[in-house]
Amino acid sequence: MRSNQAYPGENKWIGWLYLLPGLLIYLGFTFYPILETVRTSFYEWNGFSAQRDWIGLRNYQALFSDTQFTSAFLHNLVFILFYCILPVFIGLLLASVLSRKALPGMTLFRTVLFLPQVISMVVVGVIWRWIFNPQFGPLNVLLNALGLSGLTRAWLGDFALALPAVGSIGTWVQYGFCMILFLAGMQHISEEYYEASSLDGANAFQQFVHITIPGLRAEIGVALVTTIIAALRVFDLVYVTTRGGPGNATLVVGFLIYRSAFQQNRIGYASAIATVLMLIILVISLLIRRFQTGNEEKSA
């Protein structure tokens, strides 16, 4: 068997040569655009002219005094409820039920629940825009058929309901991912824990709290990071369903970046928003990871 140690005179850089193509692609298509975005945020530029005017931190000063950015970021925080908290909770419940009950057709049921995750967000937005249509959408048609016409609304056109309506679409998309992630994690939890707890008189809820959730600590951390990032960077769903409206009721940071860059030609300002959003996502991800690592060390 070949040892992992290099023989005398053997080229130790051969492994790096194999990694070089992928590294160059990463640097060219990911790292360089990030650096260019940060650099552009210090300039005033319309995206067309060859001249860029250096303005230092002025874009960031304008950003933190912009009420639209504050409103958009608050909407993103609301989306964390719909994109993260609710999907994680629903995913945990579904995974717990599906992993404990061997029912016929379970594979098909899992596939159907996961299906929203693999559909393009543009297609998802078009489907739900049709469902929420106030005239012929299935939701209002169903309410009318049930004699609940008083509950019919212009779901995406109501200032109070548009944001939770769009957020509910995010819940529908994300819970399948959480469910599959938790189902995979439950395969590593020994059945002996559940059998022993049953002998000690633990009910299903106690098993869920004291065995299932601690056993899924790593998967829950991944789900939190992934869904929070999805909530903070949401754009396509808002663009297809409401375009940030009515008014600015569903304006999010991603759509504000688009509006600033491509409708107002404020590329430098849009780059500043993107840079701040990137830093916020990075900080939140690191905090969740640190909290998760701390809990693992305590339980070790």
223-236 residue pLDDT tens: 999 999 999 999 99
Q: What's the confidence (pLDDT) of residue 291? A: 81
67 in a domain, yes or no? no
Phi/psi of residue 43, nearest 5 degrees: -125, 160
* pLDDT interval class at 168 (50, 70, 90): very high
Phi/psi of residue 148, nearest 5 degrees: -110, 45
Residue 91 token pair: 């995913």
Q: What's the confidence (pLDDT) of residue 8? A: 55
Q: What's the confidence (pLDDT) of residue 216? A: 92
The domain that holds 180 is classified in CATH as 1.10.3720.10
According to DSSP, the residues that pair with 54 across neighbouring strands are 43
Other beta carbons within 10 Å of 26: 12
Q: What's the confidence (pLDDT) of residue 225? A: 93
pLDDT in tens, 1-47: 455 555 555 566 887 888 888 889 988 998 999 999 999 999 999 99
108 in a domain, yes or no? yes
Considering the entire predicted model, what is its pTM?
0.88
| Radius of gyration for the alpha carbons in the chain, expressed in angstroms and rounded | 24
Query: Range of 103's domain?
Result: 77-251
Identify the CA nearest to 73 among candidates 257, 197, 215, 205: 257
32 in a domain, yes or no? no
Give counts: helices (H), strands (E), the chain: 16, 2
The number of distinct structural domains making up the chain is 1
276 in a domain, yes or no? no
173 in a domain, yes or no? yes
What lies within 8 Å, CB to CB, of 1 at 6+ separation is: none
Percent of the chain with pLDDT over 70: 92
54 in a domain, yes or no? no
Lowest-confidence range among 99-103, 149-153, 199-203, 234-238? Answer: 99-103
